[in-house]
Amino acid sequence: MAILNICIGGEFFGRMREEGRCYVDKTSFIEELLAPNQALVSLFTRPRRFGKTLTMTMLQEFFAIDKDSRSLFAGLVISDNVELCKKWMNQYPTLFLTFKGIEGKNFCEAVSFYRELVVRLCSDNEYLLDSNKVLKSDKDLLNRILSRTADQIELMICLQTLCHALEAYWNKPVILLIDEYDVPINCAEQNGYYEEMVGFMRNMLGAALKTNTSLKFAVLTGCLRIAKESIFTGLNNFRCYGISEKQFSDKIGFTTQEVDKLLDSANLIDKRALLREWYDGYRFGSVTEIYCPWDVLLYIDDLQSNPSAKPKAYWNNTSGNTIVRTLIDQAQEETKQKIERLISGKAIEEELNEELTYDIVYQNENNIWTMLYLTGYLTKSAEQPDNGSVSLVIPNREVQKIFINTISKWFNESLKGKDLSSFVVALWSGDNVKLQNTLTKILYSTISYYDSAENYYHGFMSGLIRGAGLPITSNRESGLGRTDITIEDGYHKRAVIIELKYAKEYKDLKTKSQEGLKQIEDKNYIAGLSPQIQEVICYGISFWRKESFVVVQKVRGCTGE
């Protein structure tokens, strides 16, 4: 196997190229960005972990006038465009900053994080303070930034002032790159200082992007296009390239061809179908199929150390999945049915608002569906309706797994404090009719998924039993096999053995439950019980979607080994 030198979480283009790390060539982004009639300010919105920051550091290395980046871009697509490289490579003062760390618990803390960000930026350009070309007033403000004595207004105009100083020094306008611009607003909404942060961002970005005469052009990235906060109000020649736009649709994220090339280089082409199932499926623009780079690289890296490694929901670890949990928490019956459709691989139709703002995300269900789409939990299906709504699907196995895990956690937590006494009474009394009615009622009130039906129903029953406070053992060796579920009550010298079955059709429910009961007898599961157990209640329980069927057999005078 050829070993790819993968940099997990690599966000710095220059370092990756210098260290000879695996890099999927996305430099054609530069050509498209510099095409005629491009906007003064371009905003690219994509989900997390799709390579936005790496793209921005690539732009920084290409444009920055204080760098010599020829060796970094040697052999890449952009180097073939000799005239463009001659005109643009290392020809403009360039500022790059990322807002992903501005996540204060309150407004003052968030501003402090921003202050430290611009202090570092000014420190990186401290040579400007020694130049006679730079205005004294600009130097004075930069000095106050560096000494951390600048007031809030001066912090707001810091980027504009720095651009003026850079233009004066280099005699060229500035290229401004702002990564994850909407992180501070998202954090502010979650922590209760939304209006303050929006006001700060409006003034800061307005000075940097709208009234900045020293700006050549600017590129921003984020998850959402925030328009209604008026952050970009009055900004002429502004363009947002969201995930629905055809232009740039293949420039952030991996295409099928790029993934195939990676797999071929690592002699892992036999894993192609598996990667497609788990990490492909995102539809950016009208036709482009995109993989999440974070997942692809992590899985290839795992395979390089362990050829039998199974795919994981790596993307799940980058987020708390709050938006999925909120949808589930607020779900009424119709919404629950939509979630079940999505998990089963089917599409739902919703009206989306891609100019969604963070403060109204949770105001209604349509906004939540929009947020799930914009943040990568859902994507457009191949076939779209003509009625103005959008057909949405879960993009791949990984995101399906995130939905399932979130639902499972929600179900188990929802059982806390819930009165399950009727379930417990029915279980210990051997009342199969009452137990069946109770199970079916609970199934109809929850969100079900059947991608792995037996596992789902096993988890459902296990969660219910734990929620009722009963001691449960799963898959314990007993007799000639392993029991699905065993409950022992040593104090009352009694036990319950449950064998679960999944019926593929409704008409098979009774037969399957009887098979379960017979399996308990045939494999002598009772033999594995504790010696003091004197009464055993055996259940064969079958499920079909939200229906159940329960048969029971009581065994008295039992003595386990």
Residue 209 pLDDT > 90: yes
Q: What percent of the chain has pLDDT over 90?
A: 72
- Would you state the pLDDT for residue 208? 96
Which residues lie below 8 Å from residue 376, measured CB to CB, with a gap of 6+? 46, 47, 48, 50, 282, 292, 315, 395, 399
- Please give the Cα distance from 76 to 81 (Å, whole number): 10
Q: What fold, for 417-556? A: Trna Endonuclease; Chain: A, domain 1 (3.40.1350)
- Would you state the pLDDT for residue 227? 60
Least confident segment among 205-209, 229-233, 294-298, 468-472: 229-233
Residue 248 pLDDT > 70: yes
> What's the mean per-residue pLDDT of the chain?
91
Residue 561 pLDDT > 50: no
Banded pLDDT at 364 (limits 50, 70, 90): confident
- Would you state the pLDDT for residue 560? 46
- Please give the Cα distance from 484 to 381 (Å, whole number): 38
The residues pairing with 498 across neighbouring beta strands, listed in sequence order, are: 485, 539
Which residues lie below 8 Å from residue 73, measured CB to CB, with a gap of 6+? 17, 27, 61, 62, 79, 85, 89
Residue 9 pLDDT > 80: no
Q: What is the mean pLDDT of residues 209-222?
A: 95
Residue 558 pLDDT > 60: no
Cβ(189)–Cβ(362) under 8 Å?
no
Q: What fold, for 13-241? A: Rossmann fold (3.40.50)
Q: What is the mean pLDDT of residues 375-401?
A: 92
Question: Per residue in 36-70, pLDDT tens?
Answer: 988 999 999 999 889 999 999 999 999 999 999 99
CA nearest neighbour of 212 among 185, 235, 241, 233: 235
Q: Could you state, in order of their start, the residue ranges of all structural domains in the chain? A: 13-241, 318-407, 417-556
Q: What fold, for 318-407? A: Arc Repressor Mutant, subunit A (1.10.10)
Residue 342 pLDDT > 50: yes
- Would you state the pLDDT for residue 367? 86
Question: Per residue in 87-108, pLDDT tens?
Answer: 999 999 999 999 999 989 999 9
- SS3 for 309-336 is CCCCCHHHHHCCCHHHHHHHHHCCHHHH
Banded pLDDT at 488 (limits 50, 70, 90): very high
Residue 229 pLDDT > 60: no
Q: Structure tokens of 553? A: 């057999």
Of the CA atoms within 13 Å of residue 166, those in its CB half-sphere come to 28
Residue 556 pLDDT > 80: no
- Would you state the pLDDT for residue 320? 61
Residue 296 pLDDT > 70: yes
- Would you state the pLDDT for residue 358? 79
The residues pairing with 241 across neighbouring beta strands, listed in sequence order, are: 44
- Which helix (H) or strand (E) covers residue 368, if one does? helix 365-374
Residue 452 pLDDT > 70: no
- Please give the Cα distance from 115 to 113 (Å, whole number): 5
Q: What percent of the chain has pLDDT over 70?
A: 96
Least confident segment among 165-174, 433-442, 478-487: 478-487
Question: Per residue in 260-280, pLDDT tens?
Answer: 999 999 999 999 999 999 999
Q: Which sign does the torsion angle of CA 417, 422, 425, 430 carry?
A: negative
